[in-house]
Structure 1
């Protein structure tokens, strides 16, 4: 076992940490094949260290056919050869640890790739066999089994069932996949599945991984007994609060994660985890308790409109939830699954992002200046809150969604399986611009696997390094100042105008965010940082100020 380089005494480091999400295939290409890789991540350790985050979280880097951006995992205990080797991974861990930066790995336990050795064994095995019991196979309906077992939809449309073909070419059983057909769901009632994932957690923890992000953490346990209920969609608001949903947030999930917690706590310091659990907010505490995973993503601000009232209400609600679970809250504005928040904040309220993307981002028109000013203000607000903040690569550059990707380059299964009516998530996964020029703006020596727009030049690291008012400079300043100002996990609301969110931390650190258009007066104190220049000593609209008194 690899002993952690971090002191065991700091077991609560994660409670107010800033974690930077790296989407490996779009971060940095080290070998000129157009695809980001592990050595590319290692090469940017100084950049990440200067940014000032506490940890990085790596989206899947495992062997994968990329049916879903790497979330179709063919081998959970290896590195995709296109991205590097286990030795490269070990070097990367060592490089980041040497800078005091921890590393999270993404674990995908709900489903594997259809290329996983277990699924290939299942396809070759007979119905009812031990190999098939690791997944969810069922006979079809109809006179000849020609109809799927039920009408459940897939997240990627249109159905969650795919029929197999037997060795003699005749149609066989159907298997469940809540996502793409290349992502068959595991059967988490099978002890082999339970033990194999424990082995995976130990494998990466032994290599020095400090934490895990758990993909689709709410879906592992399923009730596959008949009669099957009709499920129209997978909106969390339709998930009951008693753990009785057939597919999501079932009560028995707690036992799975208690077993994982025993593994995490066997390390010194304990490994940490954060759940991606799209469940009613009242149920998130089950994933965030000290006995289970420890943290659960709070996506409420990500989904909130630009509104002082909505932000304050959401913050109050989630701080209460964190107190209930014994965890700390997690604040998120962007990730690899959503339209970047600099774009969201520059679009009219109630914009349908799927429809906007299909128009190549031309209708309704994006107000980039407004979107970026709000994005900068929102980031400073998040960083001032008690709890941890999860950032997504490129947001520190103020990147907008690349909305005009042509259909022929799109890779997202949402586009490919939903009748080409929704573009999906490729627009936030376009490789990063490191330099102002070149075939891929410094991403690599060849063109990137998704085309980068010409406007990336003015949002590149090289360009922003020399701009005093750049978003990159703001992030660096805010993250450095935050380390100095952090205090207990509490805040106190300060009476403020209707369109202002004003709170202070225990050490006299005030955050004032102006959601309105008109400048507002600031309280007495020392202005430490603002997301936009003051106007006659006042805070302009769509801006945040940090003041100490």
Structure 2
């Protein structure tokens, strides 16, 4: 597999730093806590850890409002502690990916504090400003993704500034060459320290319409959807002008060996694939959220996989995820017991998987009482169920107080299923979901067909999914039964390598395989047994 980059062969594990492990007893996860759990990640068998923002921040959006791009927030530790974490991760063969937030800064960032001093401030055009509209209000109808207008009036200068998200997160003006160069230097700061990759947050929002034209209404909007979805974001996202900027960011990463660029993209898949760049000179892994939004049934998932494969350019490497810090956990989106199917699916489709912390335990969304709500989305748009606190609850490590996450009350309530699902208990149980994830990760390392092989979809009985992975003549079939009754699949002569229920492994198959309800399997096809 040496012909493939590490990020093509490997599996990425996303940590939410506030919720992974608290080492100093303040109830919030930190860098020292992540260091304490590196051996767990190495034992699990992942290849890289992705850490969302740990930079100095007022924490209006929990780190995505950055006040200093080249330092560590004291809540998480120090720059020296980060260097130690990076070195110790590398010693264990683990890569480290950091979030890079190019669309906006905190309103307390020195750049913005200077920009708002006057209309003639040196960095004034580093942000997006506009005079009031004819009625004295905002200059157009653009809406914030966190509720309300996307413009906030600045009394000192008599102009409005743009913020795609919170008012505390003013958007940068990427039409300014100085902004582009400053952000390139931020990237180099972390890449020079040895960071193995950067994940571009909200990259599709990077450029807005030069003429500030109103967004048209979305005819599909209905009550119950967020306010900003009343409009089609024609002039505020996925603009054609963003593509050269993406290529310029890739150029920075290409100054270094074996680094990866990942892009957050909540767009139709036809648009996601455009971010690979016209010549493969864009984002290495434009994030594919198809499985996060797809109905949990074999037909929808199979169609999504086939469609994605068909749309990929020849130079594009696929990637998959079932969850992240912004979306409800997979265990709550599937029937009980299907967490095992989800594990098999994520780790056998072609491409780079990203595993969200705790999904390997079957963690479900936590129940957050109103008094404990932290997320600004839920505070600004209550009742819509769009808050992200439930999927950010602390990792349950053992059965000690606070589940081994902290010696103090955690910043968010522990999930109610923590006592049943914690790491220590599942490590001691060979039949646990955690051990299934570990076995699948070991199998990916051992089987190049699973790690880098081609994908071929097959027809299958209703409610089942059947596809093949092949590399250098080694053929592995993957079969999943989404039904509540058993199903028999044909064309599977060979040896049963793995069952998600742990049964009959190693047995020979004469051409048929009967899957129990909610069971999945991997079969080494006969030619290579």
Assess same fold via TM > 0.5.
yes
Once the two structures are TM-superposed, the CA of residue 229 in structure 1 deviates from its matched residue by 3.5
Shift of 1:446: 0.8
The 3 A distance-change label for structure 1 pair 309 and 78 is same
Aligned to 1:127: 119
Task: Indicate the larger mover: 150-159 or 388-397.
Answer: 150-159
Partner of 1:345 in structure 2? 334
Show the counterpart of 2:221: none
Q: Answer yes or no: is the 8 Å Cα contact 2:212–2:235 preserved in 1.
A: no
* Structure 1 residues 128 and 228, CA gap change in structure 2 (3 angstroms): farther
Distance in structure 2 (CA, Å) of the matches to 1:253 and 1:154: 20
| Contact map agreement 2:140 2:212 (CA 8 A) in 1 | no
Q: 1:268 to 1:455 in 2, by over 3 A?
A: closer
Which residue of the partner structure matches residue 414 of structure 2? 452
Question: Kindly tell me: are residues 468 and 202 of structure 1, through their superposed partners in 2, closer, same or farther at Cα, counting changes over 3 Å?
Answer: same
Partner of 1:105: 98
SS of residue paired to 1:545: strand
**Residues 68 and 412, structure 1, Cα contact 8 Å, conserved in 2:** yes
Selected match of 1:468 from 430, 443, 451: 430
Relative distance call for 1:219 and 1:94 in structure 2 (3 A) is same
1:50 corresponds, among 43, 50, 66, to 43
State the match for 1:517 in structure 2: 484
Q: Distance in 2 between matches of 1:447 and 1:249?
A: 42
Alignment TM-score, normalising by the size of structure 2: 0.90
Q: Could you tell me which residue of structure 2 aligns to residue 258 of structure 1?
A: 247
Aligned position for 1:317: 307
141, 145, 154: which is aligned to 1:164? 154
**1:242 counterpart residue number:** none
**2 CA distance for matches of 1:281 and 1:268?**
29
Distance (Å, rounded) in 2 between the aligned partners of 1:228 and 1:539: 54
- Look up the match of 1:94: 87
Q: 1:11 to 1:509 in 2, by over 3 A?
A: closer
CA contact (8 A) 2:97 2:197 kept: yes
| Shift of residue 292, structure 1, vs aligned partner | 1.4
Q: Residue 386 of structure 1 corresponds to which residue in structure 2?
A: 350
Q: Name 2:52's counterpart in structure 1.
A: 59
Where does residue 411 of structure 1 map in the other structure? Answer: 374
- Judge conservation of contact 2:216–2:232 (CA < 8 Å) in 1: no
SS at match of 1:424: coil
Q: Any residues of structure 2 matched to 1:431-510 within 5 Å, and which?
A: 431-438=394-401, 440-487=402-449, 488-506=452-470, 507-510=474-477
Alignment partners' CA distance in 2, 1:315 and 1:455: 32
Write the distance in 1 (CA, Å) between the matches of 2:107 and 2:76: 20
The worse-fitting range, judged by mean Cα deviation, of 150-159 and 285-294 is: 285-294
Asked if the contact 2:216–2:231 (Cα under 8 Å) also holds between the matched residues in 1, the reply is no
Looking at structure 1, the residues matched to 162 and 395 of structure 2 have their Cα atoms a distance apart, in angstroms, of: 35
Aligned equivalents of 2:260, 2:417: Cα separation in 1:
38
Can you list the C-alpha shifts for 1:254-292, whole angstroms capped at 9, x where unaligned? 2112222222111123x2111112223212223224311
Contact 2:10/2:352 (CA < 8 Å) preserved in 1? yes
Equivalent residues of 1:274, 1:288 under 8 A apart:
no
RMSD between aligned residues: 2.2
- Looking at structure 2, the residues matched to 492 and 423 of structure 1 have their Cα atoms a distance apart, in angstroms, of 36
Q: For 1:39 and 1:399, locate their aligned partners in 2 and report how far apart those are by CA, in whole Å.
A: 23
CA drift at 1:492: 2.4
Give the total of aligned pairs: 501
Normalised TM-score (structure 1): 0.87
Q: 1:379 to 1:235 in 2, by over 3 A?
A: farther
- 1:422 deviates by 3.5
8 Å CA contact retained: 2:96, 2:196: yes
Tell me which of 256, 271, 275 is aligned to 1:287: 275
2:322 aligned residue? 333
| Pair 1:117–1:99, CA change in 2 (3 A) | same
Matched with 1:354 is none
Report the alpha carbon displacement of residue 111 of structure 1 after superposing the two structures with TM.
0.8
What is the Cα deviation at residue 321 of structure 1? Answer: 2.3
Q: Distance in 2 between matches of 1:229 and 1:436?
A: 52
Deviation sequence 1:386-433 (CA, Å, 0-9, x none): 11101100001100011x211111111111112455450000001111
1:214 corresponds, among 200, 210, 213, to 200
1:530 maps to what in 2?
A: 499
Secondary structure of the 1:174 match is: strand
* Alpha-carbon distance in structure 2 between the residues aligned to 1:485 and 1:390: 18
Q: CA shift at 1:384, angstroms? A: 1.1
Paired with 1:237 and 1:501, the residues of 2 have a C-alpha distance of 37
1:25 Cα offset (Å): 0.8
Counterpart Cα distance in 1 of 2:421 and 2:462: 34
1:86-140 per-residue CA deviation (whole Å, 9 max, x = no partner) reads 11111111111111111111011111111111111122x2125432211111122
Question: Which residue, out of 381, 387, 396, partners 1:424?
Answer: 387
Q: Which residue of 2 aligns with 1:361?
A: none
Whether 1:196 aligns to 2:196 is: no
- What is aligned with 1:303? 293
Tell me, yes or no, if the aligned pair for 2:21 and 2:30 is still in contact at 8 Å. Answer: yes
User: CA–CA distance in 2 between the matches of 1:546 and 1:11?
Assistant: 23
Deviation for aligned residue 1:325: 5.5
